[in-house]
A and B are shown apart, each in its own frame.
Chain A
Amino acid sequence: MKIAVVRFPGSNCDADALAAAAASGAEACYVWHRSTDLGGADVVVLPGGFSYGDYLRPGAIARFSPVMRAVAAHAAAGRPVLGICNGFQILCEARLLPGALARNGGLSFVCRPVRLRVETDTTPFTARYRVGQELTMPVAHGDGRYVADEATLDRLERGERVVFRYVGGNPNGAMRDIAGITNEGRNVVGLMPHPERASEALLGSSDGAAVFDLAAAVAVA
């Protein structure tokens, strides 16, 4: 199983995502944003960071990177795509996920561990969790407030496409406490918290490690 981590200029969680992917036993490799193919990867991860310095708007420039065509094709083929933090923002900008990530309600960058509830186990990235399971992992973002129109939110809820929800405190004012969502095909997942930073007990939590444990999910797909 091969996991590709896309590096945009300004990505800064690329190495962390690669390490977490490799720790799960997968073959993990980088793909530079100018690349037009994904090197035969089974899974694509868009890592966190500040692609293009978040200039204009987070993810707004990165979505035009050459690699994004390949990512869109990968997603359209029903294969797994994960966007973490800035990666989630890019997926929304690229319309691979609905809605948008707006400036935090508190107007400041916020970095702290948060509690999340797993809302669905029918995505490749949550297959190893139970619905209702609570996880601890850090958030670290300035623009993480998930927003969408009411119809979209209702559609997400009805389709059980809210993947993670903040519990015991919403760090950014996200609508309906949404921390992560999936697309209609359930193969594309974006979330603001950082599972790669919660993948070893030494770092305070290993709750996020299972997000990268994709062997079973990919074999089924």
Chain B
Amino acid sequence: MTAQARPGDPQITPELVRQHGLTPDEFSRIRKVLGRDPTWVELGIFSALWSEHCAYKHSRPILKSFPTEGPQVIQGPGENAGVLRLGEGWAVAFKMESHNHPSAVEPYQGAATGVGGILRDIFTMGARPVAVLDSLRFGPLDSDRQRYLMKGVVRGIGDYGNCVGVPTVGGDVAFERAYEGNPLVNAMAVGLLREEELIRARAAGAGNPIIAVGARTGRDGIHGASFASEELSEQSEARRPQVQVGDPFTEKLLIEASLELIRSGHIVAIQDMGAAGLTSSSAEMAARGGVGVEIDAQLMPMREAEMTPYEVLLSESQERMLVVAKRGREREVDTICRAWELTSAVIGRVTDDGMYRVRWGAEVVAEIPGKALVEGAPVYHPEAREGAEAAARRARPIPPPGLDLDLDRTLERLLDLPTIASKRWVYEQYDTSVQTNTVTGPGGDAAVLRVRDTSLGIALTSGGSGRFVWLDPYEGGKAAVAEAARNIAATGARPLGITDCLNFGNPERPEVFYQFREACRGIADACRALGTPVTGGNVSFYNESPTGAVLPSPMIGMVGVLPRIESRVGAQFRAAGDVVICLGATRGALGGSQYLELATGDVFGAPPPVDLTAERALVECLAACAEARLLASAHDVSEGGLAVALVESAVLAPELFGCDVDLTPLGPGHPPAALLFAEDHGRAVVSAARADADAVLAVARKHGVPARAVGTV
């Protein structure tokens, strides 16, 4: 019995194929896979799984160049989340994902469901979620629209994370004109697990039951994955019904039920029904395990009447999990779900014929070779060519800063920039201390959490400068990883690995694909140099609106480990009289800096180059100083340069310090504005008690890091 069209199904026409986001070429590939025309349901299934969002058609060959291995890697890319070894039997699961398009049309729910989805990727690995971080990009807040978007996104993140009881401990927010038509909402979740509790989303064992757990299925979010794979347009507002609606209360119950199911030993695999819902979760679990599945979509618990198989398969209703249980344990699984007041329903079985088969009662509505469905999407190698405008922008000479500049006023204006100014008003709306593990919350470099019942700590950060990538994709890609590593190392932790969220425009445009390819090359080189493998992440293309593409924005989420939590270092000065020391070389590079934009009204010039050997040395030096308990504070130097870093270290402490420093020895001959505001990489500002200052300088010398005492707190 092969799949049959159902009465009332629309006819498969080129127009219908196009509406499903599939090219004529992709359609003929589908016909070859099936040996016949697909049914409407099958077309919908292919449309989802072969969308850019699910199939990585344009990015796969590039992503293969990322380093993914290391002694600390327990699980690399390809699973719901990456997993790294921490020590003492503990591991950390983490992943970052975009929810840009939904947030652009419905900011509150778009952001909320972004948090919900990424949390599910964590606890399906057997890890308890312990932290969320968010990297957000908006246009300048001078328009009602941008304020509406930001307010909605912040509230959406807060309401969801606060309710599920996972602290939001970090991230970053930046504002650029280029994000006006297409904001970026990237959420990272982090969980902790015992190494032996790891579970992978691989279906196995013919005859094992497939069980849907959690919320009922409705008509929300149908074709969300396809929506994420096209540019935003005037019509995008009409996509609002495709944005899912989040219910953090159910999510909290799902976390507890899922972790209990995993520990019970009754289940084989578990996966979130995320993008492309039931379709992708069931097909991907089967493909990973090399088995087939047979599902009766009619058995899905539904919240709306008269739903069709097409809708059930493609709905992205939230807070649903798909579980493969051991045969005969259906009752035990149901008992655990009921205890957490959740419904569960057996909707199918694992098979050994490798087919992805969907029934609707007695009818077969889809029957597709499983491997071809999940792995058979075409791979594209689009043309990559740097745009002439971009090269010219980078080559534009930087006017030397005038010596008569009012430096005080310039610093004040820099501190006023929304991208640089304190984000306290944002993060105070997030619960940052629930679970009582937060040792260092938002506001500094990286967040630090203790790992309960061990001596360990973890450091977490997420972010990336789109403007550096825009000006020089390769150096910008390196810079994103290097800055994350400095943030981690400033706390005293050693960087362990990264997840990434790669936000770009339309990859079919050569200049966009060039940005993507070069930024990824930079990320890969930096990860190799810093020993931080890539464990997963997500690619978000088509971040374009009628006003143009976003800045190419690869966000890096990094995790580091502190062998002893007591040795963590904060970003704020601790005591008057402490010695202020600048680590790293100040070259006075102003290209692409916040200062240059302030001075000229434009963003241009070559961004500061990244010396990966120097970055590695700085990271090692900071960690070594922290382990020897030599530092009172340590803070990464980034936007706004040394001047802003010094001010931040002074004002982050509740007691409000100041500092008296002479920066001229750092770069004799540099104009004062370059000393103060250059955004050279590879630098940190640290402070140490007078008795420890020489030891800090000695450790720096040993690591080959330029270091100089410049004054006192």
1/0 contact string of A177-221 vs chain B (CB within 8 Å): 000000000000000001011011011100000000000000000
Contact of A9 among B155, B249, B566 (CB under 8 A): B249
Inter-chain contacts of B164 with A (CB < 8 A): 12
B439 nearest CB neighbor, chain A only = A202
Cβ-based interface call for A52 (8 A): yes
B654 nearest CB neighbor, chain A only = A113
Are A9 and B253 closer than 8 Å at their CB atoms? Answer: yes
Contact of A50 among B249, B427, B438 (CB under 8 A): B249
B250 nearest CB neighbor, chain A only = A53
Are B163 and A16 closer than 8 Å at their CB atoms? Answer: no
Are B433 and A194 closer than 8 Å at their CB atoms? Answer: yes
Bound complex: CA A194 to CA B159 (Å): 19
Cβ-based interface call for B436 (8 A): yes
Bound complex: CA A197 to CA B450 (Å): 13
Inter-chain contacts of A110 with B (CB < 8 A): 428-429
Cβ-based interface call for A108 (8 A): yes
Are B433 and A111 closer than 8 Å at their CB atoms? Answer: yes
Inter-chain contacts of A203 with B (CB < 8 A): 433, 436-439
- Distance in Å: Cβ of B108 to nearest Cβ of chain A: 13
Contact of B434 among A13, A55, A200 (CB under 8 A): A13
- Distance in Å: Cβ of A207 to nearest Cβ of chain B: 14
Contact of B252 among A12, A48, A196, A200 (CB under 8 A): A12
CB proximity to B under 8 Å, residues A71-111: 108-111
Bound complex: CA A203 to CA B439 (Å): 5
Cβ-based interface call for B543 (8 A): no
Inter-chain contacts of B436 with A (CB < 8 A): 16, 19-20, 196-197, 199-200, 203
Inter-chain contacts of B180 with A (CB < 8 A): none
- Distance in Å: Cβ of B25 to nearest Cβ of chain A: 47
A51 nearest CB neighbor, chain B only = B249
Cβ-based interface call for B262 (8 A): no
Cβ-based interface call for B340 (8 A): yes
CB proximity to B under 8 Å, residues A104-138: 108-112, 138
Bound complex: CA A199 to CA B431 (Å): 17
1/0 contact string of B412-454 vs chain A (CB within 8 Å): 0000000000000001111111111111000000000010000
Are A140 and B253 closer than 8 Å at their CB atoms? Answer: no
Inter-chain contacts of A10 with B (CB < 8 A): 163, 249, 252-253
Bound complex: CA A9 to CA B164 (Å): 11
Cβ-based interface call for A144 (8 A): no
Contact of A111 among B340, B429, B450 (CB under 8 A): B429
Are A108 and B163 CB-contacts (below 8 A) given A10-B252, A53-B247, A202-B439?
Answer: no
Cβ-based interface call for B332 (8 A): no
Are B433 and A52 closer than 8 Å at their CB atoms? Answer: no
CB proximity to B under 8 Å, residues A1-38: 9-10, 12-13, 15-16, 19-20
Bound complex: CA A124 to CA B433 (Å): 26
Inter-chain contacts of B437 with A (CB < 8 A): 203
Are A49 and B158 closer than 8 Å at their CB atoms? Answer: no
Are B433 and A109 closer than 8 Å at their CB atoms? Answer: no
A15 nearest CB neighbor, chain B only = B435
Cβ-based interface call for A59 (8 A): no
B430 nearest CB neighbor, chain A only = A111
Bound complex: CA A19 to CA B437 (Å): 12
- Distance in Å: Cβ of A79 to nearest Cβ of chain B: 26
Inter-chain contacts of B435 with A (CB < 8 A): 15-16
B340 nearest CB neighbor, chain A only = A9
- 9 smallest CB-CB distances across A and B, nearest first, come from A12-B165, A53-B249, A50-B163, A140-B431, A16-B436, A197-B433, A109-B429, A111-B431, A138-B433
5 of the cross-chain contacts (CB-CB < 8 Å) are A10-B163, A12-B434, A53-B250, A111-B162, A111-B431
Which residues of A are at the interface with B, using a C-beta cutoff of 8 A? 9-10, 12-13, 15-16, 19-20, 48-50, 52-55, 108-112, 138, 140, 142, 194, 196-197, 199-200, 202-204
